[in-house]
Amino acid sequence: MTSRAIKAALFGSAMAITGQGALAAEGNTITTVVKISGIPWFDRMETGVEAYAEQHPEMEISQVGPATADSAQQLQIVQDLIAKGTDALAIVPMDPTILEGVLRRAMDRGTIIVTHEADNQINTMVDVEAFDNSDYGTALNERLAECMGGEGKWTTFVGSLGSRTHMQWVGAGEENAKQHPGMQLVDPNNESFDDAQGTYEKAKEILRKHPDIRGFQTSAGNDVLGVGRAIEEAGLTGQVCLVGTGLPNPSAAYLDSGAITAIGFWDPQKAGMAMNEVARILLEGGEIKDGMDLGVEGYNAVSVRPGAGDGKLVVGDGMVLADKDTYQDHLF
Amino acid sequence: MRLDPNFVTLSVLVALLLAVGGWVSGGTYLSPFNLQSMAMQLPEIGFLAIGVMLAMCAGNGGIDLSGIANANMSGVASGIFTVAFFDAAQQPVVFTAVFAMGCMIVGTLGGVLNGLIISKLKVTPILCTLGTQMLFTGVAVVLSGGRSVAVGAHDPLYSIGNGTALGVPIGFLIFVGVVILLGVVLKFTRYGVRLMLTGANPKAAVFSGFPISRILTTTYAISGLLAGMAGVVIAARNVNVKWDYGTSYLLVAILIAVMAGVRPEGGYGRVVNVMLSAIVLQLLTSLLNFMGMSNFVRDLAWGLLLLCFLAVGRFAVIDRIVATLPSARSPRAPS
């Protein structure tokens, strides 16, 4: 991928070189479109996409994403890639509903569409999920309840109210918390927009508003960092529990200090590879079957269910919960 | 006749980008499908940029930051109303008409609110529209409960965003129609002339007995109407409307207006330049996407482009080039 860095640097003169890349349309281009580029979660996914590209040198595989978290920007990229004649798109939608129109047009035109983190996407061929979302939400909340001793006020963060998986996780979490009558949910579903700074500000507000809060369950990849910082700065490390989606490397310091109780995740690297593998199978005219092995860890025996539309829902087994003692096993 | 430097620069850039795009992509960039695809993407941001332009022309620090929020509010409010009272499958034409009218009415009301606050309460436009931006966003969130509102993919609404007539996207045709209409209004009607004069010198306009507050209110109302139209196009294209769509459009719309040579101090701006400027940004963005460039490169390219335009305007580059051409040289001796 160094060639891409050079391309960016030699922006003007590289135009002719990249022209050859843009030309290719022999049924072998797969482009992964992520929610936002340049954040750790999707950087990790890019390593998977790159690894997959190395395994399949005959394919033209790359990853792009908008610079700002705005579904309109992602829509524009998807639309341009379709017009360019990309054969298959592996998309992590910022907001599945906003992409319905363009994906419908894409499939009408014969573009292969694979999505991830969007099990309500109607206009997709296959949606790949790392795990069953309610199982994951339940697991996160159970870990939180264990830390809180089943007592006290707690709240939830989601990337955005439109992010369906996040809403499912906190929804399953709320269900699970009902088993612990001592747990009281306050001000739920705060929107973080996956921005650590914004989450930090919001978490500080919540800590001020509810000085007796005991737990946070967060959803987007950067939320644990923002909330963890707020907890640490408030000197509440160890008194307030924080369980949420996060990546081991960025969270390491807070896991060590105890500001983060535990992180849950699936490996975006593996998800990126699985999406590309599904796209490749579809490009070759193959079929996605229940129990099939996608050749990626956590996706060795996927369960296939009917999707929200005419497409399929592929569910893997890629959930990981890590705390202070175990995060070292998953450093990325 | 003196050439309009912005018009010339923008036209040259459009031609240049098309040529480079065609060359780099080996023709795919100039394929009808891509040209249609780009033309489909254009209207929503184009409407918003014209709204910003009108507000800027009105002078006195005029700007409209509430455009995209107003567009989303229009789409959400009209969408909820229309879906509740009309069946898109049974009466698609009525559904589309009611939805579009609803969007434009809500958008205009939002614009009138801006205009009244600015002209009657004398609140600075940037503060007023920043406030109404949050208000409109809030209204859209409350109405929709934060979820997206599905207007569905029924013709003729769907075809406004996705259909073509004689190969040209319908949304783009509507946009061009609006550009022509507004261009005529600004140039030939009393309102248009007074708007520019007011922007050029508000004090003189007051002493000339111009109905300033009516001019301002009309201007922001038109800006709101355009936002409502953007709402229609967004809904038609995406099948769904949502309160947080296009948050990045706010700055892009201002960028387009400034690149089009609209004077931020007021008094000057051409709709056709705004359209060209929006086309330039669209061509550039799509070209970078075609080349698989990072979106951060796009931001960088936009920034460079803006600086170039400011330089071209500041140093009168076009006039100097023209002056070097013997045929275009003024017969008068240089003073």
Its ipTM equals 0.84
Instruction: Give per-residue pLDDT as tens, A270-283.
Output: 999 999 999 999 99
Instruction: Give per-residue pLDDT as tens, B285-308.
Output: 999 988 888 888 888 888 888 888
Query: What totals of helices (H) and strands (E) does chain B contain, helices first?
Result: 14, 4
Instruction: Give per-residue pLDDT as tens, B322-334.
Output: 777 665 555 554 4
Say yes or no for a CB contact (<8 Å) between B28 and A25: yes
Triad A234, A260, A38: Cα angle to 5°: 100
Distances in whole angstroms, Cα of residue A314 to Cα of each of A24, A294, A308, B174: 29, 10, 12, 42
Domains and CATH numbers, chain A: 2-131+268-317 (3.40.50.2300), 133-265 (3.40.50.2300)
Residues of chain A neighbouring B150 (CB-CB closer than 8 A): 97
Residues of chain B neighbouring A81 (CB-CB closer than 8 A): 289
Closest-CA distance, A278 to chain B, in angstroms, reads 22
What is the residue-wise DSSP string for B121-149? S---HHHHHHHHHHHHHHHHHHHHTTSPE
Is A66 at the interface with chain B, CB within 8 A? yes
Mean pLDDT, rounded, for B169-180 = 95
Query: B105 vs A22, which has greater pLDDT?
Result: B105
Q: Which is it for strands A312-315 and A303-306: parallel, antiparallel or unpaired?
A: antiparallel
Report the pLDDT value the prediction gives residue A307, as an integer from 0 to 100: 87
Say yes or no for a CB contact (<8 Å) between B291 and A21: yes
Mean pLDDT, rounded, for A85-107 = 92
Closest-CA distance, A32 to chain B, in angstroms, reads 11
Mean pLDDT, rounded, for A93-114 = 91
Report the pLDDT value the prediction gives residue A24, as an integer from 0 to 100: 41
Query: B86 vs B176, which has greater pLDDT?
Result: B176
Report the pLDDT value the prediction gives residue A35, as an integer from 0 to 100: 92
Say which residue the tokens 């963005």 belong to: B285
d(CA B177, CA B171): 10
Burial code (b: 16+ CB inside 10 Å, e: under 16) for B265-282 equals ebbbbbbbbbbbbbbbbb
User: Chain A 153-192, CB below 8 Å of chain B: which residues?
Assistant: 160-162
Q: What does the mean pLDDT of chain B come to?
A: 89
Closest-CA distance, B3 to chain A, in angstroms, reads 29
**Secondary structure element (H or E) that encloses residue A18, with its range:** helix A15-23
Q: At CB < 8 A and 24+ separation, what contacts does B96-101 make?
A: B96/B154, B96/B156, B96/B157, B96/B160, B99/B151, B99/B157, B99/B232, B99/B235, B100/B157, B100/B160, B100/B232
User: Chain A 223-282, CB below 8 Å of chain B: which residues?
Assistant: none
Residues of chain A neighbouring B231 (CB-CB closer than 8 A): none
Is B144 at the interface with chain A, CB within 8 A? no
Say yes or no for a CB contact (<8 Å) between B153 and A37: no
Name the 3-class secondary structure at B94: helix
Report the pLDDT value the prediction gives residue B326, as an integer from 0 to 100: 61
Mean pLDDT, rounded, for A136-148 = 93
Tokens of B86: 């009309």
% of chain B surpassing 70 pLDDT: 96
Nearest to B292 among A64, A67, A72 (CB): A64
Is B294 at the interface with chain A, CB within 8 A? yes
d(CA A62, CA A49): 7
A-chain residue closest to B294, CA distance: A64
Is B94 at the interface with chain A, CB within 8 A? no
Q: Region of B122 please: left (phi>0), alpha (psi -120 to 50) or beta.
A: left
Tokens of B109: 């009301």
Mean pLDDT, rounded, for B145-151 = 85
Say yes or no for a CB contact (<8 Å) between B242 and A23: no
Instruction: Give per-residue pLDDT as tens, A144-169.
Output: 999 999 999 999 999 888 777 899 99
**Secondary structure element (H or E) that encloses residue A276, with its range:** helix A268-283
- B170 and B164 in contact (C-beta within 8 Å)? yes
**CA-closest candidate to residue B252, choices B9, B40, B49, B71:** B49
- Residue A44 scores a pLDDT above 70: yes
Report the pLDDT value the prediction gives residue A10, as an integer from 0 to 100: 41
Which residues make Cβ contacts (< 8 Å) with residue B184, sequence separation at least 6? none
Say yes or no for a CB contact (<8 Å) between B295 and A73: yes
Is B124 at the interface with chain A, CB within 8 A? no
Distance of CA A242 to the CA centre of its chain: 19
% of chain A surpassing 90 pLDDT: 61
Say yes or no for a CB contact (<8 Å) between A22 and B292: yes
- Residue A16 scores a pLDDT above 90: no
Residues of chain A neighbouring B293 (CB-CB closer than 8 A): 7-8, 11, 18
For an interface test with A, the pick among B25, B30, B48, B241 (most A C-beta atoms closer than 10 Å) comes out as B25
Say yes or no for a CB contact (<8 Å) between B299 and A67: yes
Distance of CA B156 to the CA centre of its chain: 23
Instruction: Return the number of other C-beta atoms located less than 10 Å from residue B330's C-beta.
Output: 9
**Secondary structure element (H or E) that encloses residue A253, with its range:** helix A248-257
- Provide the Cα torsion A200, A205, A206, A208; round to 10°: 120
Residues of chain A neighbouring B29 (CB-CB closer than 8 A): 22, 84
**CA-closest candidate to residue B155, choices B140, B168, B170:** B170
Is A17 at the interface with chain B, CB within 8 A? no
Report the pLDDT value the prediction gives residue B327, as an integer from 0 to 100: 57
Name the 3-class secondary structure at A156: strand
For an interface test with A, the pick among B30, B44, B148, B305 (most A C-beta atoms closer than 10 Å) comes out as B148
- A312 and A304 in contact (C-beta within 8 Å)? yes
Nearest to A22 among B24, B41, B158 (CB): B24
Instruction: Give per-residue pLDDT as tens, B64-84.
Output: 999 999 999 999 999 999 998
Handedness of CA A140, A65, A61, A92 (dihedral sign): positive
CATH architecture observed for domain B5-318: Orthogonal Bundle (1.10)
